[in-house]
Amino acid sequence: MDDYQPSTRQGIDPGSPGAKPKRTLRLGQRAAQAALAFLLCAGCFLSLFPWGRAWTRSTLLLPAVISASEPAPLTLAGDSVRFRRITLSSVTGPGFLDIYEPTTPPPPIPGGREAIIVVVGAGDNRDVPQLVNLLQAFAHEGIVVVNVGTPMLFQYKVSARDGEAVVQAFELLEHWPGVDPHHIGIITFSVGDEMACVGAADPRIRDRVAFLGMLGGYVDVSSLLRTVGRRAQEIDGQTQPWHPISTDLYTLASSVSSLLSPTENKLLQKAFPLNNIAPPLTVQQQAQLSPGTAAFYHLLEGDEPGSVDRNLSALSPQMKALLVQLSPMSVIDQIRAPIHLLHDRNDQSIPFTQAQEFAVALARLHHPYDFAAYGIFSHVQVRSNPDMAQLLSDGTKLIQTLNSILLVGS
């Protein structure tokens, strides 16, 4: 470096008055060299290495996840996005796909794009601003995102048959222009995890699913009904009160409607309306329910917290079989993809214990997974004005999960 210093003064006695400016000059020179070295290393890491590219993506995506708006740097530096809505038909019924994709061709490095299939919970949530914002943010990052919905899910009915829509979406993405068929993963929210797990466990695609990310999902309907019936959950040996929201009860009642008589269906819909808390059924109305349906009603109503096990046993064999079918637990041993579990500790829609049970089941199977508990979510949406300390703590965990998900296509 010395031959590159055109105007340094040589031969100054260190003790002389001229030594101090020279020392300051050298310090500034060293600081500038260190800054350039840092910029070189950081620039190389963030663009040349897959881990660095995933980290860049996670950092830019995080503000979009924890807020309802896209960060300016992502809008400025990201790809422009094209949206299209298509319908797939299959033997199990139509699948509605909302596709958000970058308009530009994929760059030579890493080659093909990553694709993510998103399955949102019960109801038609396709136009929910926070979801649309998240899907657009993914697409700005160069990822093809497909939001999958089915008529059953739109009607708040969970069905294992809807897994076919996920399989169809996966197979469509495998041949989608610019998508690397080995970089397709699935992200689910809430009860969407049932159809996502059934799809990810399907022998046609299970060996090619890159990852499965679940926020606020459930694992076993029977244990979910136990928590709902008791209006309490047990976390780390401590019993805590837990009260389901009306949407949970409506979804549970709707999901078993195929097994009920028209009268029973009418009564359960009356007892558990959507977005509303209704008064309990009268004794005369309860008398019109079969013993199995009455047991199911009491579990949802939560009016017999001490008889939950008895009520679970009293369910009809058909309903017990359906509950097993509607539980991701029944297929997790057939899933090959690594699973990322995310759940809010104070989730009022799906109890936190469901994620804990999911993690225990995966650990028992020695299935690759990670599990992070959060405090910033209100079920699957970010709370408004979360605590800053909580935001920092959860943001760190979230960025790790995003990193794992985005590393696949980086």
Partner 1 sequence: MLILSLFWLFVGLLIGALANAAKLRPAAWVRGGRLGMLGLGALAALLGGWLGTWLFGTLFATATAIWVAVLVVALLPRLITKCNAWLHSRTAVP
| Between 27 and 363, CB nearer to partner 1 | 27
SS (H, E, C) the chain: CHHHCCCCCCCCCCCCCCHHHHHHHHHHHHHHHHHHHHHHHHHHHHHHCHHHHHHHHHHHHHHHHHCCCCCHHHHHHCCCEEEEEEEEEECCEEEEEEEEEECCCCCCCCCCEEEEEEECCCCCCCCCHHHHHHHHHHHHCCCEEEEEECHHHHCCCCCHHHHHHHHHHHHHHHCCCCEEEEEEEEEEECCHHHHHHHHHCCCCCCCCEEEEEEECCCCCHHHHHHHHHHCEEEECCEEEECCCCHHHHHHHHHHCHHHCCHHHHHHHHHHCCCCCCCCCCCHHHHHCCCHHHHHHHHHHHCCCHHHHHHHHHCCCHHHHHHHHHCCHHHCHHHCCCCEEEEEECCCCCCCHHHHHHHHHHHHHCCCCEEEEEECCEECCEECCCCCHHHHHHHHHHHHHHHHHHHHCCC
Q: Is 1 a binder of partner 1 (CB under 8 A)?
A: yes
According to DSSP, the β-strands at 144-149 and 339-344 are: unpaired
Distance CA 223, CA 310 (A): 13
The first and second tokens of residue 373, run together, are: 């508990």
Q: Which is nearer to partner 1, 8 or 261 (CB)?
A: 8
| Binding-site member from 95, 142, 213, 302 for partner 1 (CB under 8 A) | 142
Residues 300-319 that bind partner 1 (CB under 8 A): none
Question: Which residue's CB is nearer to partner 1, number 47 or number 258?
Answer: 47
**Does residue number 60 form part of the binding site for partner 1 (CB under 8 A)?**
yes
CB of 395 to partner 1, least distance (A): 20
Q: How far apart are CA 68 and CA 307, in angstroms?
A: 43
Nearest approach, Cβ of 143 to partner 1 (angstroms)?
A: 10
**CB of 77 or CB of 86, closer to partner 1:** 77
Q: Which of 36, 86, 360, 363 binds partner 1 (CB under 8 A)?
A: 36
By the rule CB under 8 A, 177 interacts with partner 1: no
Between residues 29 and 67, which has the closer beta carbon with respect to partner 1? Answer: 29
Output the smallest distance, CB 17 to partner 1, in A.
Answer: 22
Is residue 194 close enough to count as binding partner 1 by CB under 8 A?
A: no
| Alpha carbon 358 to chain centroid, angstroms | 14
Nearest to partner 1 of 7, 87 (CB atom): 7
Q: Is 35 in the site for partner 1 (CB under 8 A)?
A: yes
Residue pair 100/83 in contact by the 8 Å Cβ criterion: yes
Question: Are 250 and 268 contacting, i.e. CB atoms less than 8 angstroms apart?
Answer: no
- Output the smallest distance, CB 53 to partner 1, in A: 6
- d(C-alpha 358, C-alpha 336), whole Å: 15
**Options 109, 363, 365, 392; binder of partner 1; rule CB under 8 A:** 109
Which of 70, 141, 180, 194 is in the footprint of partner 1 by CB under 8 A?
A: 141
Residue 360 interacting with partner 1 (CB under 8 A): no
Nearer to partner 1, 60 or 341 (CB): 60
Question: According to the binding rule CB under 8 A, does residue 101 interact with partner 1?
Answer: no
Instruction: Tell the residue number behind the tokens 């097994």, with chain if given.
Output: 259
Cα 197 to Cα 203: distance, rounded to the nearest angstrom? 12
- Shorter beta-carbon distance to partner 1: residue 32 or 278: 32
Q: Is 42 in the site for partner 1 (CB under 8 A)?
A: yes
The reply to whether 52 sits near partner 1 by the rule CB under 8 A is yes
Q: Contacting partner 1 (CB under 8 A), which of 21, 43, 177, 280? A: 43
Q: Which is nearer to partner 1, 107 or 129 (CB)?
A: 107
Q: Which of 47, 239, 261, 313 binds partner 1 (CB under 8 A)?
A: 47
Number of residues that bind partner 1 (CB under 8 A): 37
User: Does residue 77 bind partner 1 (CB under 8 A)?
Assistant: yes
The least CB distance from residue 57 to partner 1, in Å, is 7
Site for partner 1 in 3-22 (CB under 8 A): 3-6, 8
Measure the CA–CA gap between 156 and 126, rounded to whole angstroms: 14
Pick the closer one to partner 1 by CB: 60 or 172.
Answer: 60
Q: Is 78 in the site for partner 1 (CB under 8 A)?
A: yes
Please, which residue, 76 or 388, has the CB nearer to partner 1?
76
Q: Residue numbers of the site for partner 1 (CB under 8 A)?
A: 1, 3-6, 8, 28-29, 31-33, 35-36, 39-40, 42-44, 46-48, 52-53, 56-57, 60, 76-79, 104, 106-109, 141-142
